[in-house]
Amino acid sequence: MNVDAHAGAVTASIDRDMSVPRSLSPSGASTFRQCARRWKFRYIDKRPDPPGEPALRGTFVHHVLEELLAVAPAHRTLERARAICRDLWPSLAGNADFEALELSAEDERAFRWNAWRDIEGFFELVDPTDVDVVDRERDLTATLEGVPFRGIVDLVDRMPDGLRITDYKTARPPGARYLDSRLTQVWLYAAAAAALGDEVSEVRLLYLGETGNGRDIREPIEIARSFDPDAVNAAVDEHRITWERIADAVGGGQFEPTTGPLCSWCPYRDDCPEGRLEHQRRTGIAA
Ligand code: SF4
């Protein structure tokens, strides 16, 4: 693996009309692998992708945990988390994206309950009073095998033998066959941190539990792995290959649609004939 730090300024112009983005995040790479056309709408055309209820809940929960881990260890209690929720709630409730959801009073209560369940899930997995916080929401910018990488790490904490990289998830935990692909994100963070000179000893995903509207409550789970150079290299290779495919797509102006179940939740379906047909085929509803 050939990694160099601080190359976020790299911009690879492909032609006069279109350029690849300055950097490739794990979520951007994942979007391209899912559907190149969706990626173009989002990252080249910069069309809005309004967050739905799950994404807004995730943002709120992340913000609460970021604030919680900023206070002195002894004060990182459930009571303190509850107070932070109360403090932060007005800014979310007044957010245009949240208002656009037009939740009923009952749905808003469910939203708050689900967010609180996520925070309780965090406390079930972690004793926050025993976390040696190095960084929260750390912005990582590095070059990984020639690819300008950028990512935001939820939590970096100190372990006896090095740093631990943690990403919180408020989404449904993956089935066993999808686990490796979900770990790709934290392996990339580990690669970037290593490129910046950190010694990483562990990565982990924390699935905080609740998955929506109180109907599908799952236990919070932790997926932790010791630093594994082979897994890191595999993740970096996949990222590089995705970057090369993006460069090819931009250079050729070709962004093929990949239709499937995700078309039904794609914000760009109205502008995608293949996606409209797929949605119609799956639901019987003309889009
Ligand atoms: S509707 Fe489907 S095929 Fe079209 S851009 Fe969205 S995900 Fe891709």
- Do 97 and 176 belong together in one domain? no
Give the pLDDT of residue 217. Answer: 61
The rounded Å distance from CA 244 to ligand 1 centre is 21
- Do 58 and 116 belong together in one domain? yes
| Residue pLDDT, tens place only, 182-227 | 899 999 999 999 999 999 999 999 999 855 454 556 789 999 999 9
| Residue pLDDT, tens place only, 29-51 | 999 999 999 999 999 999 988 88
Dihedral sign, Cα of residue 223, residue 28, residue 153, residue 228: positive
The rounded Å distance from CA 258 to ligand 1 centre is 6
- Do 37 and 69 belong together in one domain? no
**Number of folded domains in the chain?**
3
Domain membership of residue 177 as a residue range: 3-47+132-251
Q: Which atom of ligand 1 lies closest to the CA of 258? A: 3
Q: How far is CA 150 from CA 21, 45, 239, 281, in A?
A: 11, 20, 12, 37
Residue nearest to atom 1 of ligand 1 (CA): 275
Q: Residues with Cβ within 6 A of ligand 1? A: 35, 37-38, 257-259, 262-263, 266, 268-269, 272, 274-275
- Do 194 and 270 belong together in one domain? no
* Most informative mutation of 40, 255, 258 for ligand 1 (most atoms within 8 A of CB): 258
The rounded Å distance from CA 21 to ligand 1 centre is 20
Give the pLDDT of residue 210. Answer: 57
- Do 85 and 151 belong together in one domain? no
- Do 100 and 69 belong together in one domain? yes
- Do 148 and 27 belong together in one domain? yes
Give the pLDDT of residue 13. Answer: 38
| Confidence bin at 181 (pLDDT 50/70/90) | confident
pLDDT score of 125 more than 80: yes
pLDDT score of 15 more than 70: no
- Do 39 and 126 belong together in one domain? no
Give the pLDDT of residue 286. Answer: 65
pLDDT above 90 covers what percent of the chain? 79
| Residue pLDDT, tens place only, 259-279 | 999 999 999 999 999 999 999
- Do 212 and 116 belong together in one domain? no
- Do 156 and 192 belong together in one domain? yes
- Do 114 and 196 belong together in one domain? no
- Do 210 and 246 belong together in one domain? yes
